[in-house]
A and B are shown apart, each in its own frame.
Chain A
Amino acid sequence: MTAQPLLAAPHTHTVFTVSRTMLAVVLALAPATFFGLYQFGWPAVFLFCVTVLSAYLFELACLWVAGKPLGQFARDGSALLSGWLVAMTLPPYAPWWVGVIGSGIAIVIAKHLFGGLGQNLFNPAMVARAMLLIALPVQMTTWVPPVGLFDGPGFVHSLAITFAGSTEFDAVSSASTLSHIKSQLGAGASMGAITPDLADLKARLIGLVPGSMGETSTVLILLGGLALVFMRIITLAIPLSVLGTIAALSAIASSLAPDRFAPPILHLTSGSTMLCAFFIATDYVTSPVSALGKMLYGIGIGALIFVIRTWGSFPEGVAFAVLLMNACTPLIETYVRPRVFGRTRTGKPLPIAKPKRSAKDTGAKA
């Protein structure tokens, strides 16, 4: 007899599960990550491994402390994804402990202190990034040029860079696109004067520019994001509204004052704009669920990114923009809900259009 206590309809299920979803996101991130790792060489590979591994260990420790079933939650892949995203936003030559602290902040503080999987108010990777950026400004803004795995520091030298704090590498000469713009505009230079110094568009698209470990290749991130859309893991609502808002605001600004504002294409292809639009802002747990809510949320992020990049004191504003909008998510959720079938937006039943039939024409037949 199949007399189980819990047997409720439906008796069939999609192929989507939490762990498959996480795995799909990781797969979509993989091309951009591995391209970044190749570009930045061994130190990046070590830092990446340390970060992901420590995220996983922190996850296990937290689960154990919280008394949650290890076997089930350790396989869900969420720690892998959080650690992966933290690693992608780190500067490639940062020492190992930056990665460990980052994943510790993401997993322990941002995720498990709030109650674990699905309970966090803020995006773990962005909490880690924002905290690291404020606490460790030097390590978090030390950029190196992408020279490729075989032309960069050797294996042993790389071990020294990541694990022994060696600073024997050429970091000063290179700055990320956004920090360069920020410092030059701040120094009073005009946009027209800065532009020749910047990497050309093709380099920014492919990812041949200094930057965080996995954020440089705009095209690969875009492809990964579109793959997620086609796999129906995410909808286009958030990416389109984030990118659209940044593009629209910067287009307006740069057409009004071309010398003081970066043009849209620069905003879209630099920093972590693409990664944010497709992988960070679309984080399920911390974004609204309704389509309209998602759009409002995306517009908010896009606008904040533009504002922080342009007038803030940090060259990149993605982490702060995402965290601020994360805080707005419950508010959006409360006021923006889907319309219920047969009801108006306010929840009243729709008016009944036709009056009830009067008694006199009851007998008539068409």
Chain B
Amino acid sequence: MSVLPTLGTLFRPSQLFSFKGVHPDPRKYLSSESEIETMPIPTLIRLPLQQHIGAEAEPVVQRDDYVLKGQLIAKARGPVSANIHAPTSGRVIAVGHFTAPHPSGLPVPTITIRPDGEDTWGPHLPRIRPENATPEEIAAQVAEAGIVGMGGATFPSAVKLNLRAKYDLHTLVINGAECEPYLTCDDRLMRERAEEIADGIGIMGRALGVKQIIVAIESNKPQAIDAMSRYNRALDYTFQVKVVPTQYPMGSEKHLVRLLTGKETPARALTADLGVVVHNVATAHAVHNAVRYGEPLITRIVTVSGRGIKRPANVKVLLGTPVSEVIAHCGGFVEEPDRLLLGGPMMGQPIANRRVPIVKGSNGILALTRAETPGNEVMPCIRCGRCVQGCPVGLTPFEMNARIQADDLDGAAKIGLMDCLTCGCCSYNCPANISLVQTFHFAKGKLAEKQSRKHQAEETKRLAAARQAREEAIAEAKRQAMAKRKAEMDAKKKADAAKAAAAAATAATAQGEANP
């Protein structure tokens, strides 16, 4: 390592004035030339019920049930959720809790299946012909197949395909940027399955009813660009393949849209407000499989890389496969890794338990050696401004950090904490190695908690007030009813008395008449 940057960054004139975004060492060569290989069926499959953004899926199988490949085992709950299917045939041995593929390592509801090795398909979803299908039918099929954003965000794709009901959409952007270092799963997918991806893109375009489709690929993937340019037609669409600069975070939805369309998505709005929807290439591939062949989302391609891995590869694995088995499939470790990650090195999550499963959003397993990871010596901030120069959102991370450290969360929020993408550019750049992103995660969580506390307090107050009002109303009603009743009673009594008096009088008269 040297003080000098690489030659490539040296001669970029714009960078002499401003260094927006960062250029981490891509290190994609480790796995970029390995063809996608299919991993054999693992010994155990563990499927967390929450592999997506939104509500947890609801299990529809029980312990000891025999499930077939592709069978629905947990169904979506509520409008933003996703179905989960059995990746292979076998027996459900538990519907309980297992460690989440997340740094917390907390147990989450999980269905565990012991594969029988037969890999027997159950009934497929009904195939549909996208040429004749309505957008609603396509979206329903995608929802049925349990497809979520495969780039890592895991937002249920069907919800995004249904945006046409609310927004005036004109452009579909297919995100093949894959800006995270090391990861090559999308690159390989585009090189090897371009035709299938193209079909999936066409299907999504039809479902969204857009006018144009742009496929954005970073300039460091020339073969993928070639492949996608060859297969650039599907259904009625001819799409543009646009080469975007290799820069992190190019794959960030709003930044990609700004680069491609020149329009900036307003804060707190969606790209759909500009008429643009962004989907990942792997999602397009999954949509193709679901619509053309009726296959639910039960596999995904995972990049297994890092210098700690003996044989870096791109592996097609069944969802739910334990990370340890994928690593074993790739020859195990060269040396004990310093960090084991799910995802890329910029935003990936470290995992402590190696038996956690691959889920829908896992795009990589990285075993990073000590030489690849930052040291843990932290220096004070020297206000060099590299975090500011690198921040793709235009925040001042060093200042936010200072405010958070001083326990001034509201002050940090005022200068844009909530706009932070937690992309990691600031921490990557920081010469003092301050864990800025971690601080921002913490502060965001704290603020959310505070907000929810406040909301809760307000809600309690509101409910208490409502209850008091209700009770008063009831008491008032009671009082009125009592008063009314009393009035009635009085009236009745009076009437009775009058009647009795009248009767007595009559009787007396009668008596008087009778006894003259």
Q: Count of A residues near B, CB < 8 Å?
A: 64
Nearest chain B residue, comparing its CB with the CB of A365: B209
Establish whether residues A357 and B352, one from each chain, have CB atoms under 8 Å apart when the complex forms: no
| Bound CA span A20–B2, Å | 9
The A-contacting residues of B in range 414-445, CB under 8 angstroms, are 415-416, 419, 422, 424, 427-429, 431-433, 435, 437-438, 441
The residue of chain A having its C-beta at the shortest distance from the C-beta of B105 within the complex is A3
User: Which residue of the partner chain, among B5, B264, B427, contacts A10 with CB atoms under 8 Å?
Assistant: B427
Contact B274 A353 (CB under 8 A): yes
Q: Is A53 an interface residue (CB 8 A)?
A: no
Is B452 at the interface (CB under 8 A from chain A)?
A: no
Instruction: Encode contact with A along B249-285: 1 for CB under 8 Å, 0 otherwise.
Output: 0000011000000011111110001110000000000
Contact of A14 among B169, B269, B428 (CB under 8 A): B428
In the complex, the answer to whether B25 meets A342 with C-beta atoms within 8 Å is no
Q: Does A9 contact B (CB under 8 A)?
A: yes
Interface SS of chain B: loop
| Smallest CB separation, B76 vs chain A (Å) | 23
- What's the least CB distance linking B289 to chain A, in Å? 24
Chain A window 288-320, contacts with chain B (Cβ cutoff 8 Å), 1 for yes, 0 for no: 011100000000000000000000000000000
Contacts of B1 in A (CB 8 A): 15
A231-B3, A284-B383 as given contacts; A337 in contact with B396, CB under 8 Å: yes
A-B contact count (CB 8 A): 220
Contact segment of B159-167, B224-232, B469-477:
B159-167
Nearest Cβ in chain B — how far from A107, in angstroms? 15
Distance between Cα atoms of A99 and B384 in the complex (Å):
28
Q: Tell me, yes or no, whether A117 is within 8 Å of chain B by CB.
A: yes
C-beta contact mask, B289-306 vs A, less than 8 Å → 1, else 0?
Answer: 000000000000000000
Which of A82-90, A157-165, A344-352 lies at the interface?
A344-352
Closest residue of chain A to B366 (Cβ to Cβ) is A11
Interchain CB contact under 8 A, B437 and A339: no
Q: Mask for A262-305, Cβ within 8 A of B = 1, else 0?
A: 00000000000000000000001101011100000000000000
Q: Which of A51-103 contact B (CB under 8 A)?
A: 72-73, 76, 78
Q: Is B4 at the interface (CB under 8 A from chain A)?
A: yes
- Give chain B residues whose Cβ lies under 8 Å from the Cβ of A231: 3-5
Q: Does B335 contact A (CB under 8 A)?
A: no
Instruction: Answer yes or no: B245 CB below 8 A from chain A CBs.
Output: no
| Residues of B with C-beta under 8 A to A365 | 135, 206, 209
Q: How far is the CA of A17 from the CA of B1 in the complex (A)?
A: 11
Give the distance in Å from the alpha carbon of A72 to the alpha carbon of B377 in the complex: 8
Within 8 A of B (CB), among A154-197: none
Q: Does A1 count as interface, using CB distance less than 8 angstroms?
A: yes
A116 interfacial by beta-carbon distance below 8 Å: yes
Contact partner of A236 (CB less than 8 A), chosen from B17, B206, B383, is B17
**Which secondary structure dominates chain A's binding surface?**
loop
Taking a contact as CB atoms under 8 Å apart, the answer to whether A11 and B384 are in contact is no
Asked if B380 and A237 make an inter-chain contact with CB atoms under 8 angstroms apart, the answer reads no
B168 within 8 A of A: yes
Q: Which residues in chain B, 14-34, are within 8 Å of chain A measured between CB atoms?
A: 15-19, 22, 24-25
Known contacts A9-B349, A340-B267, A291 near B18 by CB under 8 Å = yes
What residues of A have a CB within 8 angstroms of the CB of B169 in the complex? 357
- Of A13, A285, A349, which one neighbours B266 at CB under 8 angstroms? A349
- B385: chain A residues at CB < 8 Å are 284, 289-290
Is A357 touching B166 in the complex (CB atoms < 8 A)? Answer: yes
* Contacting pair B428 A18 (CB below 8 A): no
- Report B-chain residues with C-beta under 8 Å of the C-beta of A229: 16
Closest chain A residue to B206 by CB distance? A365
CB of A350 within 8 A of CB of B5, answer no
Checking A24, A230, A340 against B416 with a beta-carbon cut-off of 8 angstroms, the contacting residue is A340
Interface size on B, residues (CB 8 A): 93
- What chain A residues lie within 8 Å of B346 (beta carbons)? 9-12
- Roughly how many angstroms separate A206 CA and B389 CA in the complex, as a whole number? 35
Do A10 and B428 contact each other (CB < 8 Å), given the known contacts A18-B382, A118-B383?
Answer: yes
Q: Which residue from A2, A12, A73 sits with its C-beta under 8 Å from B372?
A: A12
Given contacts A231-B4, A289-B383, contact A11 B211 (CB under 8 A): no
Tell me if B266 and A119 are in contact (CB < 8 A): no
Q: How far is the CB of A14 from chain B (nearest CB, A)?
A: 6
Q: Which residues of A contact B360 (CB under 8 A)?
A: none
C-alpha gap A294/B416 in the complex (Å): 21
- A235 near B263: Cβ-Cβ < 8 Å: no
- Closest Cβ of chain B to A222, distance in Å, is 15
Query: Which B-chain residue is minimally distant from A3 (CB atoms)?
Result: B352
Q: Does B312 contact A (CB under 8 A)?
A: no
Contacts of A355 in B (CB 8 A): 168
Q: What residues on A are CB-neighbors of B201 within 8 Å?
A: none
Return A359 CB to nearest CB of chain B, in Å: 9
Distance in angstroms between the alpha carbons of A76 and B384 in the assembled complex: 14
Chain B residues contacting A135 (CB-CB under 8 Å) are none
**Contact (Cβ within 8 A) A362 B347:** no
- The CA-CA distance from A27 to B3 in the complex, in Å, is 11
Tell me, yes or no, whether A23 is within 8 Å of chain B by CB: yes
A207 to B350, CA, bound (A): 56
- What residues of chain A lie closer than 8 Å to B267, measured between beta carbons? 340-343, 349-350
Q: Which residues of B contact A3 (CB under 8 A)?
A: 352
Q: A11-B348, A232-B15, A366-B211 are in contact. Are A339 and B394 (CB under 8 A)?
A: yes
Complex-state Cα separation, A127 to B349, whole angstroms: 46
Chain A, Cβ-Cβ closest to B429: A14
Q: Say yes or no: is A6 at the interface (Cβ < 8 Å to chain B).
A: yes
Q: A72: which of B164, B338, B350, B379 is its contact (CB, 8 Å)?
A: B379
Measured CA separation A339–B391 after assembly (Å): 11
Asked if A134 CB lies within 8 Å of chain B CBs, one says no
Q: Give every chain B residue within 8 A of A353 (Cβ-Cβ).
A: 263, 274
- With a cutoff of 8 Å between Cβ atoms, the chain B residues found around residue A256 in the complex are none
Query: In the complex, what distance in Å separates the CA atom of A27 from the CA atom of B265?
Result: 44
Set B211, B275, B419: member contacting A354, Cβ < 8 A: B275
Residues of A within 8 A of B432 (CB): 17-18, 118
Closest chain B CB from A5 CB (angstroms): 10
Q: How far is the CB of A9 from chain B (nearest CB, A)?
A: 5
Is B210 located at the chain interface by the 8 A CB criterion? yes
Interface string of B164-190 (1 = CB under 8 A from A): 111111000000000001000000000
Interface residues of B in 350-386 (CB under 8 A from A): 350, 352, 366, 368, 372-374, 376-377, 379-386
The residue of chain A having its C-beta at the shortest distance from the C-beta of B416 within the complex is A340
Q: Is B103 an interface residue (CB 8 A)?
A: yes
- C-alpha spacing A287/B366, complex, angstroms: 39
Closest CB-CB distance, A188 to chain B, in whole Å? 45
Q: Which of B24, B206, B265 contacts A12 (CB 8 A)?
A: B24
Is B60 located at the chain interface by the 8 A CB criterion? no
Query: Is A21 an interface residue, CB under 8 A from the partner?
Result: yes
Besides A342-B267, A350-B264, 13 other A-B contacts (C-beta < 8 A): A7-B350, A8-B441, A9-B437, A11-B366, A12-B24, A17-B379, A17-B432, A21-B384, A117-B379, A117-B382, A231-B4, A289-B396, A352-B274
The 6 closest A-B pairs by CB, nearest first: A289-B385, A13-B374, A10-B424, A8-B438, A342-B267, A350-B266
CB<8 Å pairs between A and B, sample of 7: A2-B337, A10-B427, A12-B181, A117-B380, A231-B4, A289-B383, A349-B267
Chain B residues engaging chain A, CB cutoff 8 angstroms: 1-5, 9-10, 15-19, 22, 24-25, 103, 135, 164-169, 181, 206, 209-211, 254-255, 263-269, 273-275, 336-341, 345-350, 352, 366, 368, 372-374, 376-377, 379-386, 388-389, 391-396, 398-399, 415-416, 419, 422, 424, 427-429, 431-433, 435, 437-438, 441
> Which A residues have a C-beta under 8 Å from some C-beta of B?
1-3, 6-18, 20-21, 23-24, 27, 72-73, 76, 78, 116-119, 229-232, 235-237, 284-285, 287, 289-291, 333, 337-343, 347, 349-357, 362, 364-366
